[in-house]
Amino acid sequence: MNRTISLLIVTAVVAITCLAGPARAQTGCSGNTSFQIGSGIYDITGPAAELGMMGYAMLDQKTAGIHQRLHSRAFVIASTCNGKRAVFVNADLGMIFQAVKQKVVQKLQTTYGASLYTDANVLLSATHTHSGPGGFSHYALYNLTILGFDSQNYNAMAEGIYQSIVRAHNNLSAGTIKIASGALLDTSINRSAAAYDANPAAERALYSSNVDQTMTLLKFQRAAGQEIGEINWFPVHATSMGNQNLLISADNKGYASWLFENLKGTNYTTTAQTFVAAFANSNEGDVSPNIYGGENGGGANDFDSTKISGEKQYNKAVALYNSATALVTGGVDYRHSYVKMDAVSVAPAWTDGSWRSTCPAAIGYSMLAGAEDGPGYGSEGFTCGDVANVWEGFNCLTSTTSCQAEKPIVLETGTQQPYPWTPEVLPVQIVRIGNLALVAVPYESTTMAGRRLLATVRAELTAAGVSNFLIAGPSNAYAGYVSTREEYATQNYEGASTHFGPWTLAAYQQEFQKLAAALRTGATVAAGPTPRDLTCCQTTLQTGVVFDDKPLWVSFGSVYSNANASYARGQTASVKFWGGHPKNNLKTQSTFLEVQRKSGTSWVTVARDWDWETKYIWERNNCVPTLACSHVTIQWAIPTTATTGTYRIRHYGHWKSGWDGSINAYTGTSREFTVN
- Determine the pLDDT at residue 11: 42
- For the cut 70, the answer to whether the pLDDT of residue 6 exceeds it is no
pLDDT at 397: 59
Stronger pLDDT, 529 or 386, i.e. the higher one? 529
Query: Are the C-beta atoms of 242 and 295 separated by less than 8 Å?
Result: yes
326-383: per-residue pLDDT in tens? Answer: 999 999 999 999 999 999 999 999 999 999 999 999 999 999 888 888 888 778 888 8
Per-residue pLDDT reduced to its tens digit, 113-149: 999 999 999 999 999 999 999 999 999 999 999 999 9
pLDDT band at residue 387 under the 50/70/90 scheme: low
**Pairwise pLDDT comparison (379 vs 504), residue with the higher score:** 504
Does residue 410 surpass a pLDDT of 70?
Answer: yes
Q: How sure is the predictor about 151, in pLDDT bands with cuts at 50, 70 and 90? A: very high
Instruction: Tell me the pLDDT tens digit for each residue of 595-626.
Output: 999 999 999 999 999 999 999 999 998 887 88
Q: What's the confidence (pLDDT) of residue 376?
A: 82
Sign of the CA dihedral running 546, 549, 555, 557:
negative
CB 249 within 8 A of CB 262: no
Catalytic residue among 72, 164, 282, 288: 288
- Residue percentage of the chain with pLDDT more than 90: 89
| pLDDT (tens digit per residue) in 25-79 | 466 899 999 999 999 999 999 999 999 999 999 999 999 999 999 999 999 999 9
With 90 as the cut, is the pLDDT of residue 470 above it? yes
What's the sign of the alpha-carbon dihedral 305, 306, 307, 312? positive
pLDDT digit string, tens, across residues 240-250 = 999 999 999 99
| The pLDDT of residue 14 is above 50 | no
CATH of 559-675, one of 2.60.40.2300, 2.30.110.10, 3.40.50.300, 3.40.50.720: 2.60.40.2300
Average pLDDT over the chain, rounded to whole? Answer: 93
Name the percent of the chain lying above pLDDT 70. 94
Can you tell me the distance from the alpha carbon of 581 to that of 566, in angstroms, rounded to the nearest whole number? 30
In our burial notation (b when 16+ CB lie closer than 10 A, e otherwise), range 216-244 reads bbbbbbeeeeebbbbbbbbbbbbbbbbbe
- Amino acid identity, residue 623? C
Averaged pLDDT, 552-558: 96
Domain spans, the chain? 3-333+423-478+508-534, 559-675
Question: Residue 21 pLDDT > 90, yes or no?
Answer: no
Q: Does 663 or 394 have the greater pLDDT score? A: 663
Q: Label the pairing between strands 673-675 and 566-567.
A: parallel
pLDDT of 388:
59
Least confident of 139-148, 216-225, 404-413, 618-627: 618-627
- The type of residue at 370 is G
- Predicted pLDDT at 8: 39
pTM score, two decimals?
0.94
Catalytic-residue membership of 288? yes
From residue 518, how far is each of 123, 266, 334, 429 by CA, in Å?
A: 18, 39, 9, 12
